[in-house]
Amino acid sequence: MDQTEDPSQQDSPLTFLPLTEITDPLQDAKVYMNFMIKHCCYDAVPTSSKLVVFDSTLQIKKAFFALVANGVRAAPLWDSKQQCFVGMLTITDFINILHRYYKSPLVQIYEIEEHKIETWRDVYLQGCFKPLVSISPNASLFDAVYSLIKNKIHRLPVMDPVSGNVLHILTHKRLLKFLHIFGATLPRPRFLQKTVHQLGIGTFRDVAVIHDNSSVYTALEIFVDRRVSALPVVNEAGKVVGLYSRFDVIHLAAQKSYNNLELSVKEALKQRTLCLEGVLKCYPHETLEVVIDRIVKEQVHRLVLVDEDQYPKGIVSLSDILQALVLSPAGIDALKS
């Protein structure tokens, strides 16, 4: 459920304008909320992009290979019999398959990979899969942010209400980039000069981490049990030395190494076949403006909050930032709902 955009069509980077004084604190807090309410999803659709779609009869193995080959994290599923989109195939599905059957005494993992996507959905998920969540191109970007965070999804198909075709896949990253670029024409809120810790933006307690000598299977267990999308990797001293994300797991398919999940996280990171996002950090003294600029510039999904000695203190994700900028001023906490 992802897209690779034509680099020539991507928006040129801009930064926030110098501070324009806003005397009304309420107006100050609602600047970005009002901006996203006034713009529709179609406004955030790029002029050129690639959309990957899978037929539900495709073999699971081929589907995950195709995700890797196209550099995408998920794809809409088309059901030829029903002639409509019925869901998404995501990296989470791959993680769940590996986690459920890697140590199963009854089913070998190579047997599962020969199944079709529809078999996995119908038989092994046993009706537990959720219906496809989508949004109209005419809906507001505020509604898009709410839908992503409320439904705990990372890809939101923009679907034509008449034809039923998927026009684009909206992501947290795309929405924050849109806000960052075109929000530069707005007065800059004063809260941008506060730190994320002062604003309470991020996760600061019970942060899930993994030791670099732990197995990949252990990482999968944490992904499933804690429902997190990335794990700061720490060494024996407890200092952050890397980041292992759900997206890294898909490369087990590309390398055909999913029968060796006892591989250490340290070794798995060394075997990355593509240049993926590394561990990007932020510090307690840095302002929200600095954090947003960094996360947009580096095109990553989260920053690890560390102290000066590189010990993990929290995670600041795109969901955290969009919740704070867009939903919180409306009195909505979709992260906890």
Structure pTM?
0.85
CA distance between the termini of the chain: 24
pLDDT tens by residue, 255-270: 666 667 888 999 888 8
Mean of per-residue pLDDT scores for the chain:
85
pLDDT category of residue 278 using cuts at 50, 70 and 90: low
List Cα–Cα distances, 75 to 66, 143, 153, 169, 315, in angstroms: 10, 21, 13, 9, 27
Pairing mode, strands 281-282 and 240-245: unpaired
How buried is residue 21: exposed, middle or buried, by Cβ count under 10 Å (0-12/13-18/19+)?
exposed
pLDDT category of residue 100 using cuts at 50, 70 and 90: confident
pLDDT tens by residue, 7-36: 334 444 444 444 454 556 567 889 999 999
Q: Please tell me the chain's helix, strand, coil percentages from 3-state DSSP, rounded to the nearest 5.
A: 40, 20, 40
